[in-house]
Amino acid sequence: MSRIAGEKLQKYLLDNQGKTDEILRRYALLDTVLSSAESDETQLQTVRKTVSARPDLCEFSRLHAEYGGNNECRFMKPIFANRRTELLRILSKLRFVSTSQDLSFERALALMLAERGRHSEWITLKSGTSAV
């Protein structure tokens, strides 16, 4: 699964190299504009023009920043989604022990395994009960 996610990451990086390069070119241009002797108003107009000329790059930048750069983990969810049963079966066989006093992962895993038969998007807790 890691190999498949790595391959998807490499494809994503290759497919989006042009956008990344254009963002870097525009960023360098912004630095040049802001370092120039032009008036603040002229600089601001140039910056606005540079940014607004390619709104697709702004959206790409937001998504890229949200999902991280060179990290294949963001591509693992669709791969694991098809193997949910296998993953939960493996997790139920393993014994996880916290190395600190923080037991939140153990409790979250126990809840997830206890609710693994559910197919709803949300888990509803009864009033006065805790998750685990």
Shared domain for 15 and 69, answered yes or no, is yes
52-108 pLDDT per residue, tens: 999 999 999 888 876 666 777 777 877 777 888 888 888 899 888 888 899 998 988
Residue 50 domain boundaries:
2-78
Tokens of 59: 């959206």
Q: How many CB atoms lie within 10 A of CB 9?
A: 19
Share of the chain above pLDDT 90, in %: 30
Shared domain for 69 and 10, answered yes or no, is yes
* pTM for the model: 0.54
Decide if pLDDT at 22 tops 90: yes
Shared domain for 49 and 22, answered yes or no, is yes
How sure is the predictor about 4, in pLDDT bands with cuts at 50, 70 and 90? confident
What pLDDT shows up at residue 68?
Answer: 63
> Per the structure, how many domains does the chain have?
2
